[in-house]
Amino acid sequence: MFKLDKFSIGLGFAALIAITAQQALAQSGSAKFPGIGRTATPAEVAAWDIDVRPDFKGLPKGSGSVEKGQVIWEAKCASCHGTFGESNEIFTPIAGGTTKDDVKTGRVASLNDMKQPQRTTLMKVPTVSTLWDYIYRAMPWNAPRSLTPDDTYALVAFILSLGEIVPDDFVLSDKNIAEVKMPNRNGMTTKHGFWNVSGKPDVNGNACMHNCVPFVQIGSTLPDFARNAHENIAEQNRMYGPYRGADTTKPPIKELPGASGAGLAHAADTHSSAAKGPATLFKNENCSACHAPNAKLVGPSIADVAKKYDGQSGALEKLMAKVKSGGAGVWGSIPMPPQAQLSDEDRKALVVWMLSGGK
């Protein structure tokens, strides 16, 4: 051991303080909440900061052609959105309702004339950056974040070509994306009173207390055929207390039921909330996102599956394995994602139910 003089002790101590302070800064960034949080590394920021603004801040380099976009589209997007972005099966259509004139004016005329049945994405979105960001961050719907920047450029190019905003031989890139003229680029406003808590309301009610509207006119009621469209309302209300649900499986009662509620459907008799079994599993496990009872969505309909495997030996085992680890190629190019979250019991119940045609 050796003896330290005062000077070297002081130096060492000062250095220690400096090092500690540096570490503390990296650790906490402030003296206010020491030990809380840490500095984000550049790689971490790059991994998460993927948003793209209207001024294209955040847009990665890359490019993609309409032609390549069409190939990716047909493999990964068409099942939900239709070959031409026109499908209304699952979400509202992507393309349609815009004209070359709209591209010139920057206002979509069909938003005014009400002739278009639906507002498509191209009719609405004012900035091409939004399309890019949407696809890159959240598409395909059941496999988000699986596309590369180049894939995304290609898909945006393909969508733009569907709206005749760019020609069929167009190659979209970070260099030329700012030149794209969206058909509804002038059709969006933030001039309203709802952006700020201190904004001005559109309208105001009135505080009249007596004889305010001498003639009360009912303008709209629910049509009779819709009486049970939301299932039995009796089962959606408390089965005791002063306010019961009307039994909408039956026509309205003629007289007041009386203090005891006699004559009303007894909600306990019909506990719809207790529904279980494969049909509920099918819905809760989101099988219904891709399979419908009788229509082809992303995947085959239940009826088609039942028909294909009708009477086949080993169909149960085969399909159970397929549900567990996923499959591809039997019903088209869209793969079925593995459903590893299901218990063997649930998987069996689902497959048996599918094979019986959902009965």
Partner 1 sequence: MEKPANRARLVKAPEHFISQELIADINANGLDENRRGFLRKGFMSALGGAAAGLTAPLAMAAGEGDPAILEKQEWQTTLGKNVATMPYGVPSIYESNLIRRESPGLTRVSAASVAFTPLQGLFGTITPNGLHFERHHQGWYNLNPETHRLMVNGLVKNPRVFTMNDLMRLPSVSRTHFIECGANTGLEWGNVAVPTVQYTHGMLSCCEFTGVPLKVLLEECGADLKKGKFMLAEGGDGSGMTRTINLESCLNDTIVAWAMNGEMLRPENGFPLRLVVPGVQGVSWVKWLRRLEVGDMPWNSKDEAVHYIELMPNGMHRQYASIQECKSVITTPSGGQQLLDKGFYNVSGMAWSGRGKITRVDVSFDGGNNWRTARLETPILTKSITRFNIDWVWDGSPAILQSRAFDDTGYIQPSIKKLRDVRGTRSIYHNNAIQSWKLDSNGEVSNVQVG
For partner 1, what does the binding mask look like between residues 136 and 155, x meaning CB under 8 A? -xx--x--xx----------
Among 209, 276, 311, 313, which residue sits at the site for partner 1 (rule: CB under 8 A)?
Answer: 209
104 binds partner 1 (CB under 8 A): no
137, 148 Cβ separation under 8 angstroms: no
349 binds partner 1 (CB under 8 A): no
Minimum Å distance from CB 96 to partner 1? 15
Question: Which residue, 7 or 33, has its beta carbon nearer to partner 1?
Answer: 33
Segment 262-291, which members bind partner 1 (CB under 8 A)? 262, 264, 266-269, 271, 273-274, 283-284, 286, 288-289
248 binds partner 1 (CB under 8 A): yes
152, 136 Cβ separation under 8 angstroms: yes
Choose the binding region for partner 1 from 10-18, 148-156, 182-190, 300-308 (rule: CB under 8 A): 182-190
Minimum Å distance from CB 297 to partner 1? 8
From residue 176, alpha-carbon distances to 70, 105, 173 in Å are 19, 20, 6
Report the alpha-carbon distance of residue 213 to residue 210 in Å, rounded: 9
CB atoms within 10 A of CB 267: 21
24 binds partner 1 (CB under 8 A): no
Angle between helix 149-162 and 128-138 (nearest 10):
130
Report the alpha-carbon distance of residue 324 to residue 340 in Å, rounded: 5
Among 68, 76, 81, 124, which residue sits at the site for partner 1 (rule: CB under 8 A)?
Answer: 124
Report which DSSP code applies to 61: S
12 binds partner 1 (CB under 8 A): no
252 binds partner 1 (CB under 8 A): yes
Per DSSP, the three-state class of 357 is coil
133 binds partner 1 (CB under 8 A): yes
* 129 burial type by CB count under 10 A (0-12 exposed, 13-18 middle, 19+ buried): buried
Segment 63-82, which members bind partner 1 (CB under 8 A)? none
